[in-house]
Amino acid sequence: MAKVHRFGDNVDTDQIIPAKYLVTTDAAELAKGCMEPIDPDFPKKVHQGDVIVAGRNFGCGSSREHAPLAIKGCGVACVVAKSFARIYLRNSINIGLPALECPEAAEALEGGEEVTVDPAAGTITLKGGATFKARPLPEFVMGIVAAGGLMPFVKAQVARKGAGS
Protein backbone atom coordinates (compact mmCIF):
# COMPACT_ATOMS: atom_id res chain seq x y z
CA MET A 1 0.00 0.00 0.00
CA ALA A 2 1.19 3.48 -0.85
CA LYS A 3 0.56 6.53 1.27
CA VAL A 4 -0.98 9.66 -0.31
CA HIS A 5 0.84 13.00 0.06
CA ARG A 6 -1.56 15.81 -0.89
CA PHE A 7 -0.58 19.11 -2.53
CA GLY A 8 -2.70 21.98 -3.90
CA ASP A 9 -3.16 23.77 -7.24
CA ASN A 10 -0.40 25.35 -9.33
CA VAL A 11 2.51 23.62 -7.59
CA ASP A 12 5.28 25.01 -9.79
CA THR A 13 8.72 23.58 -10.42
CA ASP A 14 10.39 26.21 -8.20
CA GLN A 15 8.46 24.65 -5.32
CA ILE A 16 9.08 21.06 -6.42
CA ILE A 17 12.82 21.74 -6.54
CA PRO A 18 14.17 25.25 -5.77
CA ALA A 19 16.79 26.63 -8.17
CA LYS A 20 19.58 26.42 -5.60
CA TYR A 21 19.53 22.63 -6.03
CA LEU A 22 19.94 22.78 -9.80
CA VAL A 23 23.71 22.42 -9.65
CA THR A 24 23.50 18.63 -9.78
CA THR A 25 21.94 16.06 -12.08
CA ASP A 26 21.80 13.33 -9.40
CA ALA A 27 18.24 12.27 -8.45
CA ALA A 28 19.22 11.18 -4.91
CA GLU A 29 20.88 14.54 -4.29
CA LEU A 30 17.91 16.44 -5.76
CA ALA A 31 15.50 14.47 -3.56
CA LYS A 32 16.88 16.30 -0.49
CA GLY A 33 15.31 19.57 -1.69
CA CYS A 34 12.04 18.17 -3.03
CA MET A 35 9.02 20.36 -2.11
CA GLU A 36 11.18 22.40 0.30
CA PRO A 37 9.26 25.72 0.06
CA ILE A 38 5.93 23.98 0.80
CA ASP A 39 7.02 21.27 3.22
CA PRO A 40 10.73 21.12 4.13
CA ASP A 41 10.21 17.73 5.85
CA PHE A 42 8.68 16.10 2.76
CA PRO A 43 11.81 14.09 1.83
CA LYS A 44 11.81 12.62 5.37
CA LYS A 45 8.07 11.87 5.41
CA VAL A 46 7.89 10.15 2.05
CA HIS A 47 8.55 6.43 1.63
CA GLN A 48 9.43 4.25 -1.34
CA GLY A 49 6.36 3.63 -3.47
CA ASP A 50 4.27 6.52 -2.04
CA VAL A 51 2.04 8.69 -4.24
CA ILE A 52 1.72 12.46 -4.66
CA VAL A 53 -1.83 13.69 -5.28
CA ALA A 54 -2.19 17.31 -6.40
CA GLY A 55 -4.68 19.80 -7.79
CA ARG A 56 -4.68 21.64 -11.09
CA ASN A 57 -1.67 22.59 -13.24
CA PHE A 58 0.91 20.48 -11.38
CA GLY A 59 4.48 21.27 -12.45
CA CYS A 60 3.85 24.65 -14.05
CA GLY A 61 6.75 27.07 -14.49
CA SER A 62 10.29 26.23 -15.50
CA SER A 63 11.28 23.35 -17.77
CA ARG A 64 13.66 21.83 -15.23
CA GLU A 65 13.61 18.06 -15.53
CA HIS A 66 15.10 18.13 -12.04
CA ALA A 67 11.46 18.40 -10.83
CA PRO A 68 10.29 14.89 -11.80
CA LEU A 69 13.83 13.62 -11.09
CA ALA A 70 13.64 14.95 -7.50
CA ILE A 71 10.19 13.38 -7.03
CA LYS A 72 11.44 10.08 -8.43
CA GLY A 73 14.56 10.38 -6.27
CA CYS A 74 12.32 10.54 -3.17
CA GLY A 75 10.94 7.13 -4.08
CA VAL A 76 7.54 8.45 -5.19
CA ALA A 77 6.02 5.89 -7.56
CA CYS A 78 3.50 8.11 -9.29
CA VAL A 79 1.93 11.60 -9.33
CA VAL A 80 -1.84 11.89 -9.63
CA ALA A 81 -3.25 15.36 -10.39
CA LYS A 82 -6.35 17.14 -11.65
CA SER A 83 -4.17 18.39 -14.50
CA PHE A 84 -0.51 18.71 -15.41
CA ALA A 85 1.45 21.56 -16.97
CA ARG A 86 2.70 20.66 -20.41
CA ILE A 87 6.49 20.57 -20.01
CA TYR A 88 6.31 18.76 -16.66
CA LEU A 89 4.11 16.05 -18.18
CA ARG A 90 6.57 15.49 -21.04
CA ASN A 91 9.52 15.40 -18.65
CA SER A 92 7.80 12.99 -16.31
CA ILE A 93 6.92 10.56 -19.09
CA ASN A 94 10.35 10.95 -20.68
CA ILE A 95 12.15 9.90 -17.48
CA GLY A 96 9.68 7.11 -16.71
CA LEU A 97 7.82 8.64 -13.75
CA PRO A 98 4.10 7.88 -14.23
CA ALA A 99 1.78 10.92 -14.24
CA LEU A 100 -1.93 10.17 -13.99
CA GLU A 101 -4.52 12.84 -14.74
CA CYS A 102 -7.50 11.97 -12.57
CA PRO A 103 -9.65 14.88 -11.27
CA GLU A 104 -11.95 12.48 -9.38
CA ALA A 105 -9.09 10.97 -7.33
CA ALA A 106 -7.58 14.41 -6.76
CA GLU A 107 -10.96 15.61 -5.49
CA ALA A 108 -11.53 12.64 -3.18
CA LEU A 109 -8.08 12.14 -1.65
CA GLU A 110 -7.04 14.49 1.15
CA GLY A 111 -3.65 13.01 2.09
CA GLY A 112 -2.71 10.25 4.51
CA GLU A 113 -4.91 7.61 2.82
CA GLU A 114 -3.54 4.29 1.67
CA VAL A 115 -3.97 3.51 -2.01
CA THR A 116 -2.84 1.05 -4.65
CA VAL A 117 -1.88 2.57 -7.98
CA ASP A 118 -1.53 0.68 -11.24
CA PRO A 119 0.07 3.17 -13.65
CA ALA A 120 -0.21 0.86 -16.67
CA ALA A 121 -3.94 0.37 -16.12
CA GLY A 122 -4.36 3.98 -14.97
CA THR A 123 -6.18 3.04 -11.77
CA ILE A 124 -6.00 4.41 -8.23
CA THR A 125 -7.71 2.25 -5.60
CA LEU A 126 -8.42 3.50 -2.11
CA LYS A 127 -7.83 0.86 0.62
CA GLY A 128 -11.22 -0.81 1.18
CA GLY A 129 -12.86 1.77 -1.07
CA ALA A 130 -13.40 3.21 -4.48
CA THR A 131 -11.32 2.78 -7.61
CA PHE A 132 -10.62 5.85 -9.73
CA LYS A 133 -9.78 5.66 -13.41
CA ALA A 134 -7.30 8.15 -14.84
CA ARG A 135 -7.58 9.76 -18.29
CA PRO A 136 -5.78 7.43 -20.68
CA LEU A 137 -2.55 8.73 -22.24
CA PRO A 138 -2.59 9.06 -26.05
CA GLU A 139 -1.43 5.91 -27.83
CA PHE A 140 1.65 7.67 -29.20
CA VAL A 141 2.74 8.64 -25.69
CA MET A 142 2.03 5.13 -24.38
CA GLY A 143 4.67 3.92 -26.86
CA ILE A 144 7.26 6.02 -25.01
CA VAL A 145 6.03 4.74 -21.65
CA ALA A 146 6.17 1.14 -22.91
CA ALA A 147 9.75 1.64 -24.11
CA GLY A 148 10.71 2.73 -20.57
CA GLY A 149 11.14 6.43 -21.37
CA LEU A 150 12.17 8.64 -24.27
CA MET A 151 15.84 7.69 -24.55
CA PRO A 152 15.26 3.93 -24.91
CA PHE A 153 12.51 4.85 -27.43
CA VAL A 154 14.92 7.06 -29.42
CA LYS A 155 17.74 4.51 -29.17
CA ALA A 156 15.47 1.88 -30.71
CA GLN A 157 14.43 4.31 -33.47
CA VAL A 158 18.04 5.17 -34.30
CA ALA A 159 18.98 1.44 -34.30
CA ARG A 160 16.10 0.64 -36.70
CA LYS A 161 17.11 3.48 -39.01
CA GLY A 162 20.76 2.34 -38.89
CA ALA A 163 19.80 -1.25 -39.70
CA GLY A 164 17.70 -0.14 -42.66
CA SER A 165 20.34 2.00 -44.37
Partner 1 sequence: MGMTITEKILAAHCGRKAVEPGEFIMANVDFCMGNDITAPIAIKELEKYGLGVWDRERIALVPSHYVPAKDVKSAEMVKIMREYARKNGITHFFEIGQAGIDHILLPQKGLTVPGEVVIGADSHSCTYGGLGLFSTGVGSTDLAAVMATGRIWLKVPETIRFVYLGKPSGWVSAKDMILQVIGMCGVEGANYMAMEHVGEAIDALSVDSRLTLCNMAIEAGAKSGICAADSTAVEYVKARSKKTWTVYQGDPDAKVARTVEVDVAKLEPLVACHPLPDKVKTVREMGEMRVDQVFIGSCTNGRLEDLRVAAAILKGRKVSPNLRCIVIPATPEVMKGALKEGLIEIFMDAGATVNTSTCGPCLGGHTGVLAAGEKCVSTSNRNFVGRMGDPRSEVYLVSPAVAAATAVRGHVAHPDDVAGPYETVMGGK
Q: Which residues are at the interface with partner 1 (CB under 8 A)?
A: 10, 12, 14-15, 18-20, 22-25, 36-38, 56-57, 60-66, 69, 83, 85-87, 90-91, 94-95, 138, 140, 144, 149-152, 154-155, 157-158
- Least separation in angstroms between residue 131's CB and partner 1 is 27
Residue 51: which residues within 8 A CB-CB, separation 6 or more?
Answer: 2, 3, 4, 5, 76, 77, 78, 79, 80, 115, 117, 124
Identity of the residue, 2 or 15, whose beta carbon is nearer to partner 1 in the bound complex: 15
Query: 153: how many CB neighbours lie within 10 A of its CB?
Result: 16
- Least separation in angstroms between residue 58's CB and partner 1 is 10
Residue 151: which residues within 8 A CB-CB, separation 6 or more?
Answer: 94
**Contact assessment for residue 46 and residue 75, using Cβ atoms and an 8 Å cutoff:** yes
**Cα distance between residue 80 and residue 46, in whole Å:** 15
- Least separation in angstroms between residue 1's CB and partner 1 is 31
- Least separation in angstroms between residue 104's CB and partner 1 is 19
Identity of the residue, 130 or 159, whose beta carbon is nearer to partner 1 in the bound complex: 159
- Least separation in angstroms between residue 18's CB and partner 1 is 6
Handedness of CA 133, 137, 142, 146 (dihedral sign): negative
Instruction: Write the single-letter amino acid at 59.
Output: G
**Cα distance between residue 33 and residue 22, in whole Å:** 10
Identity of the residue, 77 or 141, whose beta carbon is nearer to partner 1 in the bound complex: 141
Identity of the residue, 115 or 134, whose beta carbon is nearer to partner 1 in the bound complex: 134
Identity of the residue, 5 or 66, whose beta carbon is nearer to partner 1 in the bound complex: 66
